[in-house]
Structure 1
Amino acid sequence: MVRTHGTKGREAEQAMELAGVRQSIANLRTFPFVQRKEHDGELQLRGAFFSISDGLLHVLDKQTGEFAPAV
């Protein structure tokens, strides 16, 4: 991430924010009860962040791994 976005400026800040959301989901999936609920279809983990700059909710797409504005 640092090679791509550096460590300063808004682009780097946003990249780190999004990486934090992805990591949080990965961390939740380390819990056995979360794994069970996901496997049984009783739980769906979703990643999202609200961008104050554009006023939009951006949701993590499970297929692409990218964030896009919620429709």
Structure 2
Amino acid sequence: MQLGLTQRELTELTRKSVQLILSGREGDSEALTQYKTSAQFRAGVQLACAAMVLVLAENNERISQQLASLQKES
């Protein structure tokens, strides 16, 4: 049994998260806009989002295993 997100959904979540963080917002200062275009910021955002998705993927598997174990006990 698989609970939660599929691999494709996790990949899409990563892509959308990066896109959302890097997109400009109304009211952003010029300095923030310039910083968001820097390679260092972009790399940090991508790394943070990838780490978030890895945690989700690990928990997704653990929850699935726990539920499968509970169903076997019932």
Q: What range is the shorter-chain TM-score in?
A: 0.3 to 0.5
The structure having more radius of gyration, on CA atoms, is: 2
Alignment TM-score, normalising by the size of structure 1: 0.38
Higher helix share: 2
The answer to which structure has the higher strand fraction is 1
Q: Which has the higher contact order (CA 8 A, sep 6+)?
A: 2
